[in-house]
């Protein structure tokens, strides 16, 4: 994955690993509030592209709606383009990429410096409930849950009053497919990073504040 016209990108990347619903996006958003990090969620980038009706969005939508992965060539190109837009030495929390071996290799070969991969460990049987109850603010992106983190005013975001949405791929049938894809294609990346001595682990099956405390220990 060469950088543009030989320019050094040199951003520092922490990869966030974990199944859909493991809470990595929530933690990344919290961490970014203090301004030292940039949260790059490839899922968010794709959803924005769909909303805009761009070529990328149109190509990605069918895969996403079915709970499948968007093809590697599209995703690697997308990451490459996005990384080029950051200032040197930016600290990126990379959420949702890599999801396959090919993507992980491409990231290692890029000019981004992957310093660590943090694995959010949650027992498999909790994931479906966590994802299907998820609600996301259409305005600021804050994440709520109908049981575990309900908004004070039902249907409205606590932060900005924006409308809370239920993602089309957060319905049970699609969630089961996404989890199947995760176990098959993405879970093996835990080993990929372990072999490179980059793997750290967080127990993500505890209250958000406790997960946050464990997560923060990896950034000193």
- Annotated catalytic residues are 24, 99, 134, 167, 178
Which residue, 88 or 166, is less far from ligand AMP as judged by CB? 166
- How many residues touch ligand AMP under the rule CB under 6 A: the total is 17
Q: Alpha-carbon torsion 25, 27, 28, 30, what sign?
A: positive
By residue count, the chain amounts to 220
Letters for 106-145 (x = contact with ligand AMP by CB under 6 A, - = none) are: ----------------------------------------
Closest contact distance (angstroms) between CB of 153 and ligand AMP is 25
Place of tokens 């969630």: 175
Map the footprint of ligand AMP across residues 54-93, applying CB under 6 A: 63-64, 67-70, 75
Instruction: Give me the half-sphere count of Cα atoms (radius 13 Å) on the Cβ side of residue 42.
Output: 27
Letters for 145-184 (x = contact with ligand AMP by CB under 6 A, - = none) are: ------------------------x--------x------
Distance CA 193, CA 200 (A): 9
Distance CA 151, CA 139 (A): 14
How far are the Cα atoms of 24, 29, 145, 154, 170 from residue 33, in angstroms, in the given order? 15, 7, 20, 24, 25
Contacts with ligand AMP, residue ranges (CB under 6 A): 20, 42-43, 46, 63-64, 67-70, 75, 96-97, 99, 103, 169, 178
């Amino acid at each position: 994955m060469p950088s543009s016209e030989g320019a050094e990108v040199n951003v520092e990347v922490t990869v966030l690993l974990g199944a859909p619903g493991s809470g990595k996006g929530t933690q990344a958003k919290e961490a970014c509030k203090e301004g030292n990090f940039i949260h790059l969620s490839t899922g968010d980038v794709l959803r924005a592209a769909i909303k805009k009706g761009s070529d990328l969005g149109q190509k990605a939508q069918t895969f996403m709606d079915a709970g499948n992965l968007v093809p590697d060539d599209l995703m690697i190109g997308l990451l490459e383009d996005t990384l080029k837009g950051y200032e040197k030495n930016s600290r990126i929390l990379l959420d949702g990429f890599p999801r396959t071996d090919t993507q992980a290799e491409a990231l290692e070969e890029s000019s981004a410096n992957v310093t660590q991969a943090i694995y959010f460990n949650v027992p498999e049987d909790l994931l479906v409930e966590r994802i299907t109850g998820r609600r996301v603010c259409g305005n600021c992106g804050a994440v709520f849950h109908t049981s575990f983190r309900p908004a004070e005013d039902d249907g409205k975001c606590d932060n900005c009053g924006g409308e809370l949405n239920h993602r089309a791929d957060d319905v049970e049938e699609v969630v089961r497919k996404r989890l199947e894809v995760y176990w098959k294609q993405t879970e093996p990346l835990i080993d990929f990073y372990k072999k490179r001595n980059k793997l750290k682990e967080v127990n993500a099956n505890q209250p958000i504040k406790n997960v946050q405390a464990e997560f923060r220990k990896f950034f000193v």
